[in-house]
């Protein structure tokens, strides 16, 4: 395959990925917080800057061939600027990366970036074809003592398993949690939520909810 064809394919692919990124951000901001299904927005945000970087280098090599050294210098300076922007974008994509932690045919739970000073959060979405519709943040923080999922090495969040009982309007979450007051202490917890609004039941109700499920 000719270099020109390869360069064109990479450029078009990068452009499509950026379009996916922009479309997903517009959906999230203006469309009642929709996300693209199958984490397409995440993958696009990661690979778009990488392919843009590769395309910028290939294009600069092509257009600077045979040019005066001063012209080459200016073109490579421009390419360097594009590379730096791509590196920053890739870093931001990694820091702000949201990832799927659980799903079934109707619902999906994402771990979403809570900010540099806040822990990540688990968010419930409803599957709607090619998009996932935001429902609510699952409350892990009003427990006494308060806790978060997982450990520091996992960014404050680890895996959790969810069972959905639609006929009972109930979510059962089984998770490993870390005590905020003693970060070396982890323990298993079962947390129940209402499916329609994400209301978390008090842990004192767990026995009756287990009986209801059985």
Peptide bond into 145 cis (omega under 30): yes
Please check whether residue 177 is in contact with residue 191, taking contact to mean a CB–CB distance below 8 angstroms. no
- Please report the sign of the dihedral spanned by the C-alpha atoms of residue 160, residue 183, residue 209, residue 207: positive
Distance CA 54, CA 11 (A): 9
pLDDT digits 0-9 by tens, 3-60: 778 888 888 898 898 888 887 777 666 555 777 777 777 788 888 888 888 888 888 8
| CA–CA distance, 109 with 121 (Å, rounded to integer) | 10
* Contact call for residues 98 and 157 (beta carbons, < 8 A): no
Burial 168-185 (b: 16+ CB within 10 A, else e): eebbbbebebbeeeeeee
Task: Tell me: pLDDT of 157 over 60.
Answer: no
pLDDT of residue 141: 59
Question: CA-to-CA distance for 53 and 61, rounded, in angstroms?
Answer: 13
Residue 29's pLDDT is 60
**Residue with the larger pLDDT of the pair 180 and 85:** 85
Helices and strands of the chain, counted as H and E runs: 4, 9
Q: What is the rounded distance in angstroms from the CA atom of residue 210 to the CA atom of residue 214? A: 6
CA distance linking residue 214 with residue 198, whole number of Å: 21
pLDDT tens sequence across 51-92 = 888 888 888 887 777 777 677 777 777 788 787 887 777 766
């Amino acid at each position: 395959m000719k270099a020109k064809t390869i360069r064109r394919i990479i450029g078009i692919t990068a452009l499509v990925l950026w379009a996916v990124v922009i479309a997903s951000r517009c959906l999230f901001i203006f469309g009642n917080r929709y996300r693209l299904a199958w984490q397409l927005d995440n993958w696009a945000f990661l690979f778009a800057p990488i392919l843009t970087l590769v395309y910028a280098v290939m294009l600069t090599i092509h257009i600077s061939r045979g040019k005066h050294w001063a012209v080459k210098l200016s073109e490579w300076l421009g390419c360097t600027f594009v590379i730096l922007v791509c590196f920053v974008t890739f870093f931001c994509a990694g820091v702000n990366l949201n990832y799927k932690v659980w799903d079934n045919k109707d619902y999906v739970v994402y771990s979403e970036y809570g900010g540099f000073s806040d822990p990540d959060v688990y968010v419930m979405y409803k599957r709607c074809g090619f998009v996932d519709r935001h429902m609510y943040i699952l409350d892990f923080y009003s427990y006494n003592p308060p806790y978060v999922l997982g450990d520091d090495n996992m960014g404050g969040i680890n895996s959790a398993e969810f069972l959905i009982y639609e006929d009972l309007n109930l979510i059962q979450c089984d998770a490993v949690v870390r005590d905020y007051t003693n970060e070396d202490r982890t323990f298993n917890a079962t947390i129940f939520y209402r499916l329609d609004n994400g209301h978390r039941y008090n842990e004192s109700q767990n026995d009756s909810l287990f009986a209801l499920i059985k």
